Structure 1
C-alpha cells in the first residue's frame, strides 16, 4: 500500500465520549500532506465520470438497437422522431445495462482504490463517515468530487450520443409507470443496504486475516452486488443505489421527477447498513469483533485511511 495513503494516528488515548474527536472532523495529518486528499479527490472525480460515461452510455447506445428503437416508437433504427424518454431503462437491454453498471464499478473501484479507496458513491462515503472511518473533511471532498464527476460523465454521454441521450432522457432515474413512490423508495433503501453491507464486509481486513483472498476479491464482490441490484431495480426506477449517478444524469437531462427518492433511499439504506456492520459485526464481542478497537480513529487501522482499500 502506498505510504501516502496511511494516516498518522491522531490520538494516543481515547477522548471522553462527548469531546470532539479531531480525526473524525478534521483530516488527520499524514506523510503525504494535503496532496494525499487532493489525489484522492481527483480519483473520485475521474472514476465517477468514467463510471457514468460507461454505464449510462450503455443505456443510451442501447436505444439504437433495432428492437429497442421500435419499442421506443421509431419506424427504423433512427431515433430523431422518438419522444424524449421513450426509451426507458426497463427494456429488453436489462442484462446489458446491469452488466455495464456492475463491471464498470468492478474495474473503476480497483483503479481508484489505491488513491481514495474507490467510493464513487455518496451513500458509501456517508456510511463510512458515520462509521467514523473517514473524516468529515474527506467525506465532503469525496461527495463534491463524485457529484462533479457524475455531471461531467453524463455531459460526455450527451455530447457523444445526443439522439440516444434524448431518447433515454440521459438514463436519468425515474419511476416506471407501474411503480409507486413506496415501491421505488423501498427498493432503493433495501438494495443500497445490501450493497453497502457487502462493501463493508468485502474490505474488512481485520476479519479477512483468516482468508487472505478477501481483499483481492473486494472489487469483484462489489461489482457483482451492483449487477444484482440492477437486475432487481432497473424495471422499477432504473436503479440508483448511488445519489451521484442520479444527480449527474438529472442535471444534464433536467429530469427531476421524484429525484428525492434517489437521495433519501440510498443514504438511509447505506447509513443503516454501515452502522449495522460497524456495531453489530465489526465490534460486537458476540461475533468475535475486535473489541480492543472500540475507540478506533479514522486511519488508525492497518487497512488504510479509508478502510476501503483492496
Structure 2
C-alpha cells in the first residue's frame, strides 16, 4: 500500500502527468461520444442494438473508436480510456491510478453534448443506458462483465504491454477487435460495457442508476484479475532466456 501511495505522489509530480490526465479525459470523451452516438443512431434508424444489424453496427463503432483512441493516446498517456484498464495495469505495477481522475468527466461531457445535439420531443433518441437483459440476474451480469473485461485486459497485456509481444504496432487495433467481439458476444446479455466510464456518463445524464454497480464491480474485478494473472504468469521479463529448441543444445 505504501509503495502504491508513493507511486501516486511520484506520478503526480511528473511534468507530463497533467498532460496525461488531460489526454485521458479527451480520449474518453471522444470514445464515449462515438460509442453512445452509435447506439442512439441504431435506435433512431430502427430496431436498435437488440437486432443483429444494430448490434453489429454498435459493436463495430466501439471497436473502431477504441482502436483509434488507444493509438492516439498511447504515446501520451497510454490510451487507457477505461478505469478497469488502469486498474489492471496498476495490478502489474505498470502504472498508478492517479491519471484516471478525469475519465468520468470526459464521459459525462460526451453524454451531455449528445443529449443536447439529439434535440427534444417525441422523435429524439434517448441516451441508451447499460442494463441487464430480461432474465439475466445481477450475479450473472457481474460474471459477464468480469469475464469480458478479463478478456480485454488480457489482450492489452499480450499485445501492448508485454515487451515480448510479436504484433508490432498492431496492439491498439487488436484491442479494438476484442472490444467489438465482446460487444457482439455479451451485448444482448449485460450490454458488454467493460468500462465503468462508458456506463457512468449515460447513467448520470438520464438519472437511471438501476444495477449500475454491476458495471463498476464486474469490470474492476475482471481487469484486476487479468493484470495479476498475466503479469504473474505470462509476462516475459527482461533478460528472460527462451528454452532451446535444438535437442543437442538442451
Matching of residue 91 in structure 1 with residue 51 in structure 2? yes
Structure of larger gyration radius:
1
Equivalent of residue 256 in structure 1, options 209, 216, 235: 209
* Match of residue 193, structure 1, among 116, 130, 150: 150
CA shift, 1:291, in A, is 7.2
Find the residue that maps to 1:114 and give its secondary structure.
coil
In structure 1, runs of 5+ residues without a counterpart are 1-17, 69-86, 283-288, 294-310
CA-based RMSD: 2.4
- Partner in structure 1 of residue 130 of structure 2: 173
Deviation at 1:255, TM superposition (A): 1.1
More helix by share: 2
Q: Summarize deviations over 1:235-261 as a string: whole Å, max 9, x none.
A: 112211000001111101111010000
Structure 2 counterpart SS, 1:115: coil
Residue of structure 1 in register with 2:98 after alignment:
140
Verify the 8 A CA contact 2:130 2:190 in the aligned structure 1: yes
- Mapping of residues 1-310 of structure 1, within 5 Å: 20=3, 24-28=7-11, 34-65=14-45, 67-68=46-47, 89-92=49-52, 93-135=54-96, 139-142=97-100, 144-162=101-119, 169-208=126-165, 211=166, 214-282=167-235, 289-290=236-237
Q: Secondary structure at the match of 1:236?
A: helix
Distance 1:279 1:156, change over 3 A: same
In the alignment, the residues of structure 2 paired with residue 206 and residue 188 of structure 1 have an alpha-carbon distance, to the nearest angstrom, of 28
- Between the aligned partners of 2:207 and 2:80, the Cα distance in structure 1 is 25
**CA distance 1:254–1:19, shift in 2 (3 Å):** closer
Q: Post-superposition shift, 1:224? A: 0.2
- Report how far residue 181 of structure 1 moved: 1.5
CA contact (8 A) 2:66 2:176 kept: yes
TM-score by length of 1: 0.71
Aligned 8 A contact 1:41 1:116 in 2: yes
**Matched residue of 1:207: which SS?**
coil
